[in-house]
A and B are shown apart, each in its own frame.
Chain A
Amino acid sequence: MKNKIESNQNESLNKLFPIFINNLESFIIFIDNDRKIALWNKASENCFGIPEEFTKGKKLTELPLIWDKYSIEEHIINSQSNHKSYQATELEIERPDNKKKWISIKIYRTNIPEENISGFFIIGSDITEQKMSFDHLKEDNKFKAIGELSAGIAHEINSPLQYIHNNLTFINDVFTSCSDLKKNIFLLSSADINYQASVLNKNILELLNKNNYDELLTETKEAIEQSFEGVKRIEIIVNSLKNYAHPEMDAPIKVYLKTIIQDSINLSINEWKYVADIETVFPDDDIETTGYPTYLSQVFVNMLINAGHAIEELISVKKIKRGKIKINLESEKEYVNITISDNGIGMSDKVKSRIFEPFFTTKKIGKGTGQGLAIVYSIIVNKHNGQIFCESKIGEGTKFIIKLPVSTA
């Protein structure tokens, strides 16, 4: 009786086995000794983007994947000679639909002659999400973002430094010539011998002939005013860096969105000023919420640079001469709405649907890493419980709408 139940149970289990295999989160692949695929579960289909029927009787190396085929083969050979499981982590693959994935696998050499099983079990998991997780991306991107911006910031500081430097040289020259004049006049007032007075008078006349003091003083005034202007500009940029370079915080702090956006504009100005004008609609009072100032600055800098690139592309096909970036900030009940729009090249629905995917980029090599908007998404959605939407039309422009809860804590 007991045996009967057990054998029934075994039968049921055998029937359930394929269902069980297909419901596993890990992918399981079995390849026979000829390297031909004999088992390809549902998770394999999902991870590699290849349906089971396509894989039957094919070798792994024959699948339409872009990956390091030799290293896979090497792993298999290693598992064979080691007679135990062999592990490979963080393998990069590109699927037939061009999506990138990262996987970790374990290979088990399996040989059960009585069951007629001989080959390799490859069991693994899709680790793309972990690899793409915020923490993983952020370090990488932080350095890139600072690197990208620093040349522009250096230029923005160097220009005022250049003319402050020149103006000081000019003011110094004027000062020297004014001191000479003053010295001669002073000596003249105390000179009592005619001869001495006539020499001093001659000196003074020479100085007055050589220099137009009225003009020099007017120019000096201008030089001083313009230098003040330059100092102010350096001050603005250095102050704007404060939020951007805020020390890493574990917990959210009070942030002022109008200030952060204005700072991001100041810092990224060199990246778009030659192609676009900026128009901002801000409320009179700053909007306070809680969050991470460094990350939020990164979001806005990133979006401004993107907007600049989109406009640059439309200019390069001679559709426009100069573009416009608009930023709108307003609070609405529990949300703060920030819209950033450009009248640049725009994008198709197909591209739009993938922009937040890590490593997806349509930019030329060297212009984008495909990480920018993935980070933006992660910062807004994961770090600030916010939302981000995108509207776009080819040739007309793109609009991003960011909604941040007023208190994000």
Chain B
Amino acid sequence: MKVLFIDDEINILNAYKRIFKNEKDLIFHTAESGMEAIKMVKNNNYDMIFTDYNLPLMNGVEIAEKFKSINNETKLFLITGQQIPDQKKYFFEKILIKPVSISILQETIRNNK
């Protein structure tokens, strides 16, 4: 199971890393921007990608659109505290409300294995 988390807040990525580092069968990658993430998506076959909405230059929805054109198999999840218009939710399996608890993230990962 390979997952990618995208957030421009390094402390958030650090916190996820701490939790998921010791999780069995989980390869955990992080990216701080859409640009960085797109490079990683081209070189890795991710099962799931979790992205923030508010990101530099490209927002979470724009990033998701790019991902879908690269690999349509990857399941995408948006983590945001913002209201997202319905038509933009289309790319995502699920919208997770920020702040999202670790147990919900773990459950989401488990259920989508």
Contact = CB atoms under 8 A, between A and B. Distances in A.
Interface of A: 151, 154-155, 158-167, 169-170, 173, 219, 222-223, 226, 229-230, 270, 274
Among B19, B54, B57, the one with the most A-chain Cβ atoms within 10 Å of its Cβ is B54
B15 A167 contact: yes
Contacts of A166: 12, 15-16, 18-19, 102
Contacts of A151: 82-83
Contacts, number: 66
Nearest to A222: B14
Contacts of A154: 81-82
Nearest to B100: A162
A366 to B, nearest CB: 13
A341 B1 CA distance: 49
Contact of A223 (B15, B56, B57): B15
Given A159-B9, A160-B9, A165-B101, 7 more contacts: A155-B81, A163-B14, A165-B100, A166-B15, A166-B16, A169-B102, A219-B18
A79 B102 CA distance: 71
Interface in B16-57: 16, 18-19, 54-57
Contacts of A219: 18
Nearest to B98: A158
B18 A167 contact: yes
A151 B100 CA distance: 17
B85 interface: no
B95 to A, nearest CB: 14
A247 to B, nearest CB: 27
A12 B66 CA distance: 81
Contacts of B9: 159-160, 162-163
B87 interface: no
A116 B102 CA distance: 88
26 contacts: A151-B83, A154-B81, A155-B82, A159-B7, A159-B11, A159-B12, A161-B99, A162-B79, A162-B98, A162-B99, A162-B100, A163-B12, A163-B14, A164-B99, A166-B15, A167-B15, A169-B101, A169-B103, A170-B15, A173-B19, A222-B18, A226-B11, A229-B11, A230-B11, A274-B56, A274-B57
Contacts of A229: 11
